[in-house]
Structure 1
Amino acid sequence: MDPAQARSAALEAAEDLFYARGIQVVSMDEIRAASGVSLKRLYALFPSKSALVRACLEARDTRWRAQLAAYVDSRPGPPQDRVLAVFDWLHLWFSEPGFRGCAFTNSFGEIGATDASVAGVARLHKEAFRAYVAGLVVAAGEPEESAVAYVLLAEGAIVTAAVSGTPEPAHQARRAAARLLSDAAVT
């Protein structure tokens, strides 16, 4: 297995294990077994578990944001519909088998207090999401500062869906977002 294949296999195995079970309970040896990458090579690619966690989160961030943007960009209609499309996409994500909430929130909650680099990656992801939603909100004719309400609806839906085990919070948050958009259009 060449270095690029080994890196990809290790990242995929680690991300799956971390997301399903948590970071602290998953050992590097379990990642070795799941990935087929020797422990020596695993540590050559990622000198620490923290480095592997960061790499997993960075890869997930790129993929997650690209999937969200592709979905929103594929929705026809006025700019307000693109804001609502965020919540439609969240419903699809929440409906995926094995959905366990936001990997960034989970990682931050599990090790963010003791690993500033992981906390930093989580913060960057949340800020990028806020900036993306702000762009949609501004395009819909609202001031940028109103984006926080939509972001909080989305973040609350993510946590609630993970805890409740149902994708319904995405629909609930979408209805609230639609009311906000409607109210903004009236004023």
Structure 2
Amino acid sequence: MIDLEGLLIENPVVAAIRNDNDLNKVKDSNVHIVFVLYGSLLSIGRICKELKEKKKVVFVHLDMIEGLKSDQKGIEFIKEYANPFGVITTKQGYIKYAKNLGLYTIQRIFIIDSLSLDTAIKSILASQPSAVEVMPGVASKIIKSLEKQIRLPIIAGGLINTKKEVMESLAAGAMAISTTAQELWE
């Protein structure tokens, strides 16, 4: 089994792609890990296949796949037909089921206030994902607080558009960052 933490340490910039134009650009980039934030039941297999042919480590965001029903069969479909390295979701139940299928899991959380931080920590401790993606990723204080309490790899995502923001997120304790800013993929 691959060590996700080591993979993130070696590849701290993760490409987050939202369309086929991003897909075509990321295939020839130096980025090793790709978060797929788009697609449908008809296209997700092709998207993952193209990325894996370029030796990319693929995570599919379950909540963003058009036509995917929010249940266990939907996760089984993704595992069978797209076969990503792992999945991303905001849903605690998806994390548990995907882990049972042998997929790596990233729980995406949105922190807007102290209540959402407390709720997120409880959810993370209950579901035990492989890693956590914190949104917005420019929230270094939140990253430091989470790192102390959950002891899992943290990926900062959202609103990260400059090298300075990448460095700040990593300095705050994030193991990696995800970004749609193509200039940071190199």
Q: Which structure is higher in strand share?
A: 2
Q: Please, what TM-score do these two structures have when normalized by structure 1?
A: 0.27
Name the one with the larger helix percent. 1
TM-score (norm 2): 0.27
